[in-house]
Structure 1
Amino acid sequence: MDAKLFDSSHNIRSSVLSGISVSLSVISVFLAVFCIFYVHAYLMASLEIIFSLYAFYIHHRAKKRHYTEMDVHCFTYLLLLLFIVSNLFLPPENHGFMWTLVCPLLMYSLVGLKRGFISSLILFITQTSIVYYRTVDLAAFNTTNLMVNLASSYLVIWLISHTYEFHRHEVESTLSNLASRDALTSAHNRLALTTAFEYFQTHRDKEELSFLIVDIDFFKAVNDQYGHDIGDKVLIETSQLMMQIVGDDNLYRIGGEEFCITLFNRSLDEAHLIGERIRKLIAANPFIYDDHHIHLTLSVGICEYKEGNRIEDLLRMADHELYRAKKSGRNQVRLCPTAEQSVDDNEQKVPVTATSHL
């Protein structure tokens, strides 16, 4: 989830895509004119004009951040195809094959590390083969020198592009992890919760979302009696146990001993069952540290997202149910009043295996 929510690559590629597409749109117009009046390659000129129009369209979408991954791939591979076709049909004396050298930079900038590597490899094999085939019998070219210089230049630029993108991706992953994780428990933090909710609202398509607020009962007494070192170990183990049920991506530490769980595409009755599973797991788990045997319980409050809810609304409603659980004796799961009747009516109909895929 870190990469998805804190992905600066998207912003970088938006800027790169916008700049490259408008630049290539203009350049393609000039190349089309060149093909028509100087080379008389009308087919190539037509392709340049088509690409110019498409590049301008991509620029318009990239500028407004409305483009899709498919747009990026289509633009990138169409550009790659244009380079190959130009080498096939334009006279080698025009030195159009020199455009090949910029391809690794473009590929890695637009489609990332893995696809950039594959695209660069395909283009290297294809372009060097075409250039060799088309120049080997031409007296104007020393084919050996040409191939050595073209291949070595391409490989150097390819290596630099790959190394840069690899380390950029590593640094981005590290920074994303630091920004989104709780240092003690490795659960996600409140910033990650806010970002995940914003992502959910932006990309939601009739998707359900339930919020669970989980609080360790009498945790202050654990700290007071056993010390903060033991308290920290309790928090770590508790978060690890909850991750076994809800997964790493759905657990957030939002307070000292308070956690939030997000359940996407889960009905409210499923959320209730998951809350009970977590409560029973913690209650049955022996927390043993340095001969200290600690028995813990959890209180859980659950609410469901409704259209127009803000994250503050969901946290407040779930926290209110948590307060009700505390006031009613702790070690229990409570739901928002509007949801309780529905869950009570359906609970007998929902098999316990409803959450077995988690």
Structure 2
Amino acid sequence: MELDIFNPSRQLRRAVLFWLSILLAFLALIVAALNTFYGGYYLLAAVEVLCSLFSLYVAYTCYKQEDISLFCSNSFVYVLVGVVFLATYVHPIEHGSFLWSLLFPVLFYLILGKRYGIIATGVGFVSQVVLVMHKTYHEGTLNFFELSINFMLAYLVAWLAAHILEVKRRTSETSLGLLASRDALTGVYNRHALVHNFERYRCESSKTPLSLLILDLDFFKNVNDQHGHDIGDKVLVQTAALIDSHCDEHLVYRIGGEEFCIALHNTQVTQAAHKAEQIRIAIEHYTFNDRHNPIHLTASIGIYQCDQYKSLEDVLKEADKELYRAKTNGRNQVMVCGQQKCLN
């Protein structure tokens, strides 16, 4: 499971939808006035007024809500398709109302992303091409073949460009998200990821228990002093992999040099203590480095069960207290908040 740390997509789509809906609201009113007083297109004007009101509603929703529903975004997009389709149908082809549809690919990919953007752009393409071909053929005022081909090619080029840009943007965003959330050495999550996730953890802890483990390798400084930092780094990588292999769906974070944090979802403190003991025993019996130059280590672990009222700093302090108790009590043991004795 990858985290959503570096992901400006929601903010980008929300901003695009907000400003586009405001712009469309005013443009729709202006065009509705022109269609009413100068063109006599009363049905189209009425639809444009309704579109303006709907656009203002979408803008208000974007302003009030942090996360915009997919239904709201899709509704706005297909209303826009419908209005441009109706304007193209009502006006003579020489008015060029169909040219607005050339903006569809870029706007739809920005608002909906790749998956739903493809669908909406395809709907806009088919509806507009069929309508433009129909009107140019029956009105006969413009060259049917040349106009239809040029319009289709222009739309397809815009579609291809929007698709490529969205794919590349999403790939870059994913890569930056990995860099922002993963520890460069061990590959597990980093402190920044823990800070990012903790607010969600805290909200969930009101419904399901959440236990936080802090693990520290005992006398790890001796490894660096005796074997060098390269071997020390190798041991840290092996430790992270070993911890991760015992944590199933739970997330592992490296929050210090040789200090790791494990967030155990839907886990009571007694279950967390059992999991911590499994990890402690696994580390104690594991041969680090390699067979030719084996290194044996132990770990001390502190456990604290979170509640929704404590900040991350408070929770880490409480877990650190238990870790300190495990260290001062002889190391290679698990200490649980509220319990006087170690588990082993």
TM-score (norm 2): 0.88
In the TM superposition, residue 67 of structure 1 has moved relative to its aligned partner by 4.2
In the TM superposition, residue 255 of structure 1 has moved relative to its aligned partner by 0.7
Is contact 1:58–1:67 with CA below 8 Å preserved after alignment? no
For residues 53 and 41 of structure 1, what CA distance do their matches in structure 2 show? Answer: 19
Q: What is the identity, as a one-letter code, of the residue corresponding to 2:282?
A: L
Q: What is the match of residue 286 of structure 1?
A: 287
1:72 is aligned to 2:73: yes
Identity %: 39
Q: What is the match of residue 274 of structure 2?
A: 273
Q: What is the match of residue 102 of structure 1?
A: 103
Aligned partner of residue 253 in structure 2, secondary structure: strand
Q: What is the match of residue 129 of structure 2?
A: 128
Q: Which runs of 5+ in 2 are unaligned?
A: none
For residues 119-139 of structure 1, give each alpha carbon's deviation from its aligned partner in whole angstroms, at most 9, with x where no partner exists.
222322232122223332221
Is contact 1:223–1:230 with CA below 8 Å preserved after alignment? yes
For residues 172-191 of structure 1, give each alpha carbon's deviation from its aligned partner in whole angstroms, at most 9, with x where no partner exists.
22222222222111222212
In the TM superposition, residue 64 of structure 1 has moved relative to its aligned partner by 4.1
Change (3 A) 1:267 1:33: farther
In the TM superposition, residue 233 of structure 1 has moved relative to its aligned partner by 0.8
In the TM superposition, residue 249 of structure 1 has moved relative to its aligned partner by 7.1
Is contact 1:24–1:55 with CA below 8 Å preserved after alignment? yes
In the TM superposition, residue 288 of structure 1 has moved relative to its aligned partner by 4.0
| Within-5 A mapping of 1:255-266 | 255-266=256-267
For residues 95-125 of structure 1, give each alpha carbon's deviation from its aligned partner in whole angstroms, at most 9, with x where no partner exists.
3211110001111111112322232223222
Q: What is the match of residue 27 of structure 1?
A: 27
| Within-5 A mapping of 1:292-303 | 292-303=293-304
Change (3 A) 1:15 1:207: farther
1:8 is aligned to 2:24: no
For residues 20 and 84 of structure 2, what CA distance do their matches in structure 1 show? Answer: 15
Change (3 A) 1:57 1:270: farther
| Within-5 A mapping of 1:181-196 | 181-196=182-197
Change (3 A) 1:13 1:3: farther
Is contact 1:90–1:96 with CA below 8 Å preserved after alignment? yes
Q: Higher helix share goes to which structure?
A: 1
Aligned partner of residue 4 in structure 2, secondary structure: helix
For residues 242 and 224 of structure 1, what CA distance do their matches in structure 2 show? Answer: 24
For residues 227 and 111 of structure 1, what CA distance do their matches in structure 2 show? Answer: 51
For residues 127 and 31 of structure 1, what CA distance do their matches in structure 2 show? Answer: 20
Q: What is the match of residue 51 of structure 1?
A: 51
Q: What is the match of residue 354 of structure 1?
A: none
Is contact 2:102–2:155 with CA below 8 Å preserved after alignment? yes
For residues 32-78 of structure 1, give each alpha carbon's deviation from its aligned partner in whole angstroms, at most 9, with x where no partner exists.
33444455544443332222222112212323443423332332333
For residues 268 and 87 of structure 1, what CA distance do their matches in structure 2 show? Answer: 65
Q: What is the match of residue 320 of structure 2?
A: 319
Q: What is the match of residue 156 of structure 1?
A: 157
In the TM superposition, residue 203 of structure 1 has moved relative to its aligned partner by 7.9
Change (3 A) 1:306 1:133: same
Is contact 2:250–2:262 with CA below 8 Å preserved after alignment? no
In the TM superposition, residue 209 of structure 1 has moved relative to its aligned partner by 2.6
In the TM superposition, residue 18 of structure 1 has moved relative to its aligned partner by 1.5
Q: What is the identity, as a one-letter code, of the residue corresponding to 1:32?
A: A
Q: Which runs of 5+ in 1 are unaligned?
A: 345-358
For residues 205 and 266 of structure 1, what CA distance do their matches in structure 2 show? Answer: 13
For residues 94 and 177 of structure 2, what CA distance do their matches in structure 1 show? Answer: 49
Is contact 1:187–1:248 with CA below 8 Å preserved after alignment? no
Change (3 A) 1:123 1:274: farther
For residues 39 and 249 of structure 1, what CA distance do their matches in structure 2 show? Answer: 64
Change (3 A) 1:20 1:227: same
For residues 238 and 298 of structure 2, what CA distance do their matches in structure 1 show? Answer: 13
| Within-5 A mapping of 1:144-183 | 144-183=145-184
In the TM superposition, residue 211 of structure 1 has moved relative to its aligned partner by 1.3
In the TM superposition, residue 195 of structure 1 has moved relative to its aligned partner by 1.6
In the TM superposition, residue 266 of structure 1 has moved relative to its aligned partner by 2.9
Is contact 1:5–1:199 with CA below 8 Å preserved after alignment? no
TM-score (norm 1): 0.85
Q: What is the identity, as a one-letter code, of the residue corresponding to 1:15?
A: A
Aligned partner of residue 139 in structure 2, secondary structure: coil
For residues 247-292 of structure 1, give each alpha carbon's deviation from its aligned partner in whole angstroms, at most 9, with x where no partner exists.
5872111111001112233333332332233223323333242601
Q: What is the match of residue 63 of structure 1?
A: 63
Q: What is the match of residue 18 of structure 2?
A: 18
